[in-house]
Amino acid sequence: MILIKTDRDTLLKPLQIVTGVVERRHTLPILSNVLIQQDEKKLSFLATDLEIQIETSKEISQSKEKTYALTISAKKFQDILRTLPADSNVTLNRQDNRLQVKSGKSSFNLQILPPEDFPKISEDSEPEAIITVPQKELKNLLHHVQFAIAQQDIRYYLNGLLLLIEEKSLKAVATDGHRLGYMAIDLDKKYDRKEIILPRKTVLELEKQLVDDNEPITIETYKNKVRFIFSDIVLISKVIDGKFPDYKRVIPTDNTKVFELDRLVFLQSLQRVSILSNINEKFRGVRFVISNGVLQVICKNNEQEEASEELEIEYEDESIDISFNITYLLDLLNNLTCNTVQCAFRDANNSVLITNQENEDFKYIVMPMRI
């Protein structure tokens, strides 16, 4: 039974959208599959790992209206389509519990698993809150804080990003206990306060799928999950159950020793001195010696090798000798696009507040370390 005849990209493009959530190694074999469904004139692709579910659909023109559903290996199907010529036509032909993928003189027979066995995240009837923002604003919001999300922390709530709806603001906060990223964007009207903690994988998948334009994305929040609707894509994610730390207590308000740096100059300086840091250690230290008009950046390693560089700054306050994890600073500077950054200190024992003059709603806090 011939299911569909179409060009390669009609199948490959939606398949590439959903395969990012597919887990290669899973106890349930069907979770490595993609669910393909055709209903009248619409062809849809759905994948899930039980925590995240992503679905995209595409209008297709067929001479006959057909309705079918099947699941096949997402990776194998994607690899097959990728290796076919870009302008090739593909025929999907169902033969019992096999799907034949045919293009030109190439033919592949893939195993089918029952679509009724494919697990889906259930959808509640009424969302608790619905907000709509431009895709580029949400993409930018996530991009500026996602690198501060903890990885495999026993405090499971830190392994996600706090998305906070508060009056006329949508705020994103991420922290691993040593650093914190915060950013906010404006909403079109006031909303009741709502906190959700998005898993790391959801944040990265969203950032990858969102486009950099003013096309809208609708965010629907439920008790234990959140749904994002945008660009023919519906992404549903379970949320992390837990209480996120009070980020307001972490943001310093009395850091009065301030100087500015060209972001690119600062980044390149740190990249150079980091060559002689302890590259294989989790916490790679960099020492800042701040004095009148000069920031000295120093890295040492276990072989007693040392790299140092001096940067000119406008600073006339008391001297500060303070050390940080250089990875935390490189993560920040690599993800920003602004021309200058402002560093505000109190003393050598307290965190530094790094801000971006081009965006007052962005803040990054880094705790000092002992080296």
pLDDT value of position 357:
83
pLDDT value of position 28:
85
Angle at which helices 8-18 and 74-83 cross, to 10°: 140
Q: Up-side HSE of residue 108: CA atoms within 13 Å toward CB? A: 18
pLDDT value of position 40:
74
Q: What is the mean pLDDT of each run of 10 residues along the chain (371 residues)?
A: 88 94 82 90 92 91 73 95 93 90 93 93 85 96 96 92 95 96 95 95 96 94 94 95 93 94 97 88 87 95 92 94 95 94 95 92 94 63
Cα–Cα dist 353/364, whole Å: 6
Cα–Cα dist 301/324, whole Å: 14
> Could you tell me if 320 and 257 are in contact, meaning their C-beta atoms sit under 8 angstroms apart?
yes
pLDDT value of position 12:
94
Which residue, chain included where needed, has tokens 């965010």?
Answer: 219
Cα–Cα dist 371/98, whole Å: 61
- C-alpha pair distances (Å), 112 with each of 28, 68, 109, 182: 14, 13, 9, 45
Return the structure tokens found at 329.
Answer: 């600073």
Task: Give pLDDT tens digits for 64-108.
Answer: 557 889 999 999 999 999 999 988 999 999 988 899 999 999 999
Q: Up-side HSE of residue 136: CA atoms within 13 Å toward CB? A: 4
Hey, what domains does the chain have and what are their CATH numbers? 2-117 (3.10.150.10), 129-249 (3.10.150.10), 257-366 (3.10.150.10)
Backbone phi, psi, residue 288, to 5°: -110, 125
Going across the sheet that includes 179-199, the strands are 160-175, 179-199, 359-366, 352-356, 340-345, 257-262
pLDDT value of position 371:
63
> Could you tell me if 276 and 299 are in contact, meaning their C-beta atoms sit under 8 angstroms apart?
yes
